[in-house]
Amino acid sequence: MDRRLAAFVLLMAAPLLGAAVSPGRTNADVAALGWRKMEWHGIRPADFSATPSGGIRVRGRGEGGFIFRPLSGAATCLAWRWRVDAGPPVTDLTRRGGDDRALAISVGFSEFGPAVSFVTRTQHTVAQASAGDHRLPRSVLSYVWGGTGREAAAGTFFASPWTGAITRIRVLRPAEAPRGQWVEERVDLAADWRLAFGGGEVPTLQEVVISSDTEDSGAAVDAQVENIRLVPCR
């Protein structure tokens, strides 16, 4: 590819790729559960391993990365439980370069929000060309264990500082939440998507992601997630 064209492609894709990513080496026990690992360029990869209960454990120090697997069907409620035994200090999740978090559970949807711009659609097309066979979601809800908990009003979402055109973040547990104990979560994906993206018809589900990032602080992380599942909304 011509250098000028390559530079243009990267420039267009950057707002949606956030940081360049590539497939990582997925541990066999993690792959057996249907997950695939991705790594951010320039950031040492965190270790994702399977637990005896079929969950995922994330460990590292000053590292990051994510795993994903398909999630299909209509947006109902998503439930899981998680715990953090070690994680980064309080960070401002609205700021690039200071947005470490112990864990995030993100859900990708098949379509854009109603207010997405033509520029974002074009950037997504370019980003997809760079992503290979990994079909990129067009809108994302990310539920985080980390941050101050004051990035937005309780129960609301804010735009990601990296991929804000398509990603909305909600802090469920701030960094100072009690550690070393399991916490059960349940979120209404359809209601949250409408709240985060301003209404419209809720798209179908595409994938679920587990991620961790302690690259900025250099902190150690030891955290677990298990029993991620779609459940009826009550």
The three state secondary structure string of 2-34 is: CHHHHHHHHHHHHHHHCCCEEECCCCHHHHCCC
Q: What share of the chain is helix, strand, coil (3-state, %, to 5)?
A: 20, 40, 45
**What is the C-alpha radius of gyration for the chain, rounded to an integer number of angstroms?**
17
As a CATH number, domain 3-231 is 2.60.120
Contacts of 92 (CB under 8 A, 6+ apart): 98, 99, 147, 148, 151
Answer yes or no: are the C-beta atoms of 225 and 105 closer than 8 Å: yes
Closest CA to 74 of 193, 234, 196, 198: 193
pLDDT at 10 over 60: no
Answer yes or no: are the C-beta atoms of 91 and 217 closer than 8 Å: yes
* Helix or strand run (H / E) with residue 126: helix 118-131
pLDDT digits (tens, 9 = 90+) for 139-162: 999 999 999 999 999 899 999 998
pLDDT digits (tens, 9 = 90+) for 63-97: 999 999 999 999 999 999 999 999 999 999 999 98
Taking residues 132-136, report their average pLDDT: 83
pLDDT digits (tens, 9 = 90+) for 36-54: 998 888 899 999 999 999 9
Contacts of 136 (CB under 8 A, 6+ apart): 16, 108, 124, 127, 128
pLDDT at 137 over 70: yes
d(CA 227, CA 196): 25
Closest CA to 109 of 160, 159, 71: 71
DSSP conformation class of 45: B
By CB atoms closer than 10 A (0-12, 13-18, 19+), residue 105 is: buried
Mean pLDDT of the chain: 90
Answer yes or no: are the C-beta atoms of 197 and 139 closer than 8 Å: yes
- pTM, two decimal places: 0.91
